Structure 1
Amino acid sequence: MRATSSRLVVGKLREVSTIGVVAALASTYATVLYGTADTLNRVGEDSGGSVGLILKVVAPVFIAIALFVSAVVISNGVDTVIAGRTRQLSLLRLIGASGSQLRSGVVSAVAQVAFAGAAGGVVIGTVINLVTRSILLHRHLIPAAHYRLLPTGALIGALIVVIVAVAAAAVGTRRPLGATALRGAAPVRGRLRGVVAVALILGGAALLALACVLGETGSLSGFFTTFLGAATVGVGVMMGGPLIMPRLVAGFARLAGSGPAALVARKNAMSDPGRTSRSTIGLLIGVTLITTIAAGMSSITDSVHSWRGLKPDDIHQAEQVLSTVSAVMIAMIAISALIAAIGFVSTMSLTVIGRTREIGMLRAMGFTGRQVRSMITLESLALSGTAAVLGLVLGVLFGAVGSQSLVGSQTSGFMVGLPWATLAAIVAGTAVLVLVAALPPSRRAVSVAPIEALAVA
Structure 2
Amino acid sequence: MNPREHTSSIVVSALSSFFGVSLIQATGLITDVVGPMGDGAIQLALVTVAGVFILLAMYTGAVVTANTFGTIVAGRVRTIALMRLVGASTRQLRASIGREGLVVGAVGSLIGAVLALVTTNGAARYFVSTGDLPDIAYRLIDPLVILPVVAVVVTTWSASLVGSRKVLSVTPIQATASAGEPDFSENRRRTGRNVIALLLIASGVVLLVVGVVVGLVSPLGMFIAFFGGVGSFTGIILGAHVVMPLVLKAVGALFGRGAAGRLAALNALRYPARSTRATIGLVIGVTLVMTFTVAAASYQQMILDDTGLDADQLAEANQVLGVTFGVLSALIGFSAVIAAVGLVNNLSLGVLQRTRELGLLRALGFTSRQVRRMIVAESAQMVIASVGLGLGLGVLYGWAGAQSLLGSIFGSELVAPSVPWQVVVGIVGGAAVLAVVASLAPSRRATSVSPVRALQTL
TM-score range, shorter chain: over 0.9
- The code of the aligned residue for 2:236 comes to V
Q: Name the counterpart of 1:113.
A: 104
In the alignment, which residue of structure 2 is the partner of 1:4? none
Q: Which residue of 2 aligns with 1:57?
A: 48
1:84 matched to 2:75? yes
Contact 2:90 2:167 in 1 (8 A): no
| Aligned mates of 1:258, 1:108 — CA distance in 2 | 46
Q: What is the rounded CA distance, in whole Å, between the counterparts of 1:48 and 1:99 in structure 2? A: 56
Deviation digits for residues 20-44 of structure 1, max 9, x if unmatched? 1111111111111011101111211
Distance 1:226 1:58 in 2: 21
Of 23, 38, 56, 2:28 maps to 38
Question: Contact 2:81 / 2:170 at 8 angstroms: preserved in 1?
Answer: no
Instruction: State the Cα distance separating 1:128 from its structure 2 match.
Output: 1.0
Q: How does 1:171-190 map to 2 (within 5 A)?
A: 171-178=162-169, 180-181=171-172, 182=174, 184-185=180-181, 188=187, 190=190
Paired amino acid for 1:414: V
Contact 2:359 2:455 in 1 (8 A): yes
Deviation at 1:53, TM superposition (A): 4.2
Q: CA deviation at 1:319?
A: 1.6
**Structure 2, unaligned runs of 5 or more:** none
What residue number does 1:196 align with? 196
| Alignment partners' CA distance in 1, 2:368 and 2:145 | 48
Per-residue deviation, residues 95-123 of structure 1 (Å, max 9, x unmatched): 22221111111111121121011111111
Report how far residue 191 of structure 1 moved: 1.8
Q: Find the residue that maps to 1:258 and give its secondary structure.
A: coil
Report the alpha carbon displacement of residue 397 of structure 1 after superposing the two structures with TM: 0.7
**What SS class does the counterpart of residue 409 from structure 1 fall into?**
coil
Mapped pair 1:97 → 2:93: no
The residue matched to 1:410 in structure 2 has which SS? coil
Q: Deviations over 1:208-237 (max 9, x none)?
A: 122212322233x33333332221111101
> Residue 216 of structure 2 aligns to which amino acid in structure 1?
E
Q: Letter of the aligned partner of 1:453 in structure 2?
A: A
1:8-27 equivalences in 2 (<5 Å):
12-27=2-17
Q: CA deviation at 1:190?
A: 2.4
| Deviates most, 42-51 or 95-104 | 42-51
Separation of aligned partners in 1, 2:137 and 2:221: 43
Does structure 1 residue 132 correspond to structure 2 residue 123?
Answer: yes
What is the RMSD of the two structures over their aligned residues, measured on CA atoms? Answer: 1.7
- Kindly state the Cα deviation for residue 348 of structure 1 after the two structures are TM-superposed: 0.3
Q: Distance in 2 between matches of 1:313 and 1:194?
A: 54
Shift in Å at residue 346 of structure 1?
Answer: 0.3
Alignment check: 8 A CA contact 2:351 2:446 kept: yes
- Which residue in the other structure is 1:216 paired with? 216
Shift, 1:426, TM fit:
0.6
**Residue 168 (1) aligns with residue 159 (2):** yes
Name segments (4+ residues, structure 1) moved above 6 Å: none
Which is worse superposed, 276-285 or 51-60?
A: 51-60
Moved more, 76-85 or 92-101: 92-101
Preserved contact between residue 77 and residue 170 of structure 2 (Cα < 8 Å): no
Give the aligned partner of residue 416 of structure 2: 415
Tell me if structure 2 keeps the 8 A contact 1:388–1:430: yes
| TM-aligned CA deviation for residue 142 of structure 1 | 2.6
Q: How many matched pairs? A: 446
Mapped partners of 1:293, 1:114: distance in 2: 29
Partner of 1:391: 390
Quick check: 1:37–1:53 contact (8 Å CA) kept in 2?
Answer: no
Residue 226 (1) aligns with residue 202 (2): no
Determine if the alignment matches structure 1 residue 427 to structure 2 residue 428. Answer: yes
Shift of 1:368: 0.8
Mapped to 2, the partners of 1:52 and 1:429 lie a distance apart of: 35
1:450 alignment partner in structure 2: 451
Partner of 1:3: none
Q: CA deviation at 1:192?
A: 1.8
- 1:149 corresponds to which residue? 140
Q: Secondary structure at the match of 1:387?
A: helix
Q: For the residues of structure 2 that align with 1:415 and 1:325, how far apart are their CA atoms?
A: 22
Match of residue 67 from structure 1: 58
Does the 8 Å CA contact 1:35/1:150 hold for their aligned counterparts?
A: yes
Question: What displacement does 1:178 show?
Answer: 4.4
Deviates more, 1:124-133 or 1:143-152: 143-152
Q: Distance in 2 between matches of 1:27 and 1:113?
A: 12
Shift of 1:445: 0.7
1:282 alignment partner in structure 2 = 281
Report the more deviating stretch, 250-259 or 91-100.
Answer: 91-100
Tell me the SS of whatever aligns to 1:175: helix
The one-character-per-residue Cα deviations of 1:167-202 (angstroms, maximum 9, x if unpaired) are 111122123344744564366352222211111011
- CA contact 1:176–1:185 (8 Å) conserved in 2: no
Assess if the C-alpha contact under 8 Å between 1:102 and 1:177 holds in 2: no
The answer (yes or no) to whether the contact 1:23–1:114 under 8 Å persists in 2 is: yes
The range that moved more, 425-434 or 305-314, is 305-314
Say yes or no: does 1:243 pair with 2:242: yes
1:30–1:357 Cα change, 3 Å: same
State the one-letter code of the partner of 2:147.
I
Secondary structure (helix, strand or coil) at the match of 2:407 reads helix
SS of residue in 1 equivalent to 2:115: helix
Question: Structure 1, unaligned stretches of length 5 or more?
Answer: 1-6
Question: How far apart, in 1, do the equivalents of 2:320 and 2:407 lie?
Answer: 19
How many percent identity over aligned positions?
38
The residue that corresponds to 1:364 in the other structure is 363
Aligned to 2:121, what secondary structure does the other structure show? helix
